[in-house]
Structure 1
Amino acid sequence: MSLRRFDGKVVLVTGAASGIGRATALRLAAEGGSLILADSNEGGAAEVAVGIAETFHRPAQAIPYDAADTVACRRMVDRALAVHGRLDVLINNAGIYRRGHFAKTSAEDWAMMMRVNLDSVFHITQQAVPALLEMRGNVVSTASTAALTGIAYAVPYAAAKAGVIAMTKSLATEYAPFGLRFNAICPGRVLTNVSVGVAAVAEADPALLVRGPRLGTKLAGADPEDLAGAYAYLASDDAAFVTGSVLTVDGGLTVG
């Protein structure tokens, strides 16, 4: 990797133990970043940290936390800030995905999807903003094409991700005068632990479950590495004049 856009910068990535978070952390480390890897899977995050140190010779620290716990989210940010005493980039990526008929969605299921996919983004971002303001940093959050088009059998997920988009645009407007940028990425179907192995929906209409990219031969979905470059761009100074943007990276899924 010849680019060194993150030399001297500290990056916090949530959901960093696997999938898009892992791929993005590796990409930013390859470009010179110092990484803080937050995940409920402490062992997985620690493994990524070791890989970063051995492969890219960059510092990487794993911090466990529960994205469904408000206090844990805020304490995680405080622990992350204590490692290097600064923060330049926040990647809000942690999330969960569950499917089921809307009529059978419980209040508990709805609340859990909101806590992990939306509330945690609020609490982590709010806790990190003072440090990010000092560095004129930026935030990149993971939304979803489900928030743009809707998706059958995943109403809470789509609603939460739509909230991430609205939050991103609102924060971009509020903090633009201070030079703090907020952007979001809407992946389509990506082959990660979150999407692969999701329980089947009983008596679902197969036609409503067909969601795949159009580009090239990756009809089953993108690899996490296919998304990492988009995160690296928005998080870098190459995107210094980009804020409030929602970048769709879906292989043509939502073209029409």
Structure 2
Amino acid sequence: MGLKRFDNKVVLVTGAASGIGRATALRLGSEGATLILADRNFEGARQVCATAVEQYGVQADALAYDAADKTSARRMVDEALAMHGRLDSLINNAGIYRRDHFANQTGDDWSLVFGINLESVFHIVHQALPALIASRGNVVSTASTAGLQGIAYAAAYAASKAGIIAMTKSLATEYAPKGVRFNAICPGRIRTEIGTGLQPIEDQDPDIMVKPPKLAGKESGEPEDVASAFAYLTSDEACFVTGAVLVVDGAQTVG
């Protein structure tokens, strides 16, 4: 790929060890980004870093990050800033998907999903905001089509992703005067651990299954399809795009 849209740009990606986060990190690395990849699976993040360095010759570092730990976000952002002294883009991709009948879910279940999917975004953005203002940078967060239209047996997940959408729009309005952009991406059914969670789960009620329509001639998208959307919204080509919610779902939510 000839484009080097991210030369001299420092990008922090959470949930980078697998799936959409991994694909996005490698896509940005292929275009010259300096990568900081954070994940609870530290060894997995290190492996993605090694791939980026080997294939693209970019600088890439891994950080341990537990989205369920409020202090981990602050520590992780501080470590990232200590590495390069700046941050141009933040990609919030860490998340969790839990599925069960609503009547079976507990308050602890709800709090866990909200803590990882939504509150972690608050803590990371809050800690990174001064650096993003200084660089006139941008934030792109992974939401979900579930946050737009809901999904059976996953009310907490859908509500947490709707929260990301609302947070994104609110912060886009608040920080536009300071030159910081906030956007979100809503993947549909993608071949990841979360995306394939739409299949039946052993030891659970067999009627817990959601079958989306066939998407644009194929059953589901690939992580690389979503990575392309992240690459656009993170790049300077999207310099006048903020508060956007980009759906990547092969027409799943149309109609």
Q: Structure 1 counterpart of 2:95, which letter?
A: G
| Matched positions, count | 252
Offset, 1:226: 1.0
Aligned to 1:156: 156
Q: Structure 1 counterpart of 2:165, which letter?
A: I
CA distance, structure 1, for counterparts of residue 83 and residue 213 of structure 2: 40
Aligned to 2:17: 17
Aligned identity (percent) is: 62
**Contact 1:97–1:195 (CA under 8 A) maintained in structure 2:** no
Q: Structure 2 counterpart of 1:254, which letter?
A: T
Aligned to 1:235: 234
Equivalent residues in 2 for 1:181-200, closer than 5 Å: 181-196=181-196, 199-200=201-202
Structure 1 residue 246 corresponds to structure 2 residue 245:
yes
Aligned to 1:211: 212
CA distance, structure 1, for counterparts of residue 159 and residue 246 of structure 2: 18
Aligned to 1:64: 64
Equivalent residues in 2 for 1:31-70, closer than 5 Å: 31-70=31-70
CA distance, structure 2, for counterparts of residue 205 and residue 2 of structure 1: 45
Offset, 1:194: 2.6
Q: Structure 2 counterpart of 1:165, which letter?
A: I
Residue aligned with 1:247, SS? strand
Q: For each residue in 1:133-174, what CA deviation from the matched residue of structure 2 results, as whole angstroms up to 9, or x when unmatched?
A: 111000000000001111000000000000000000000000
Q: Structure 2 counterpart of 1:183, which letter?
A: N
Q: Structure 2 counterpart of 1:156, which letter?
A: A
Using the size of structure 2 for normalisation, the TM-score is 0.96
Aligned to 1:73: 73
Using the size of structure 1 for normalisation, the TM-score is 0.96
Stretches of structure 1 that go unaligned for 5 or more consecutive residues are none
Q: For each residue in 1:54-85, what CA deviation from the matched residue of structure 2 results, as whole angstroms up to 9, or x when unmatched?
A: 10000000001110010011111111111111
CA distance, structure 1, for counterparts of residue 181 and residue 208 of structure 2: 41
**Contact 2:189–2:196 (CA under 8 A) maintained in structure 1:** no
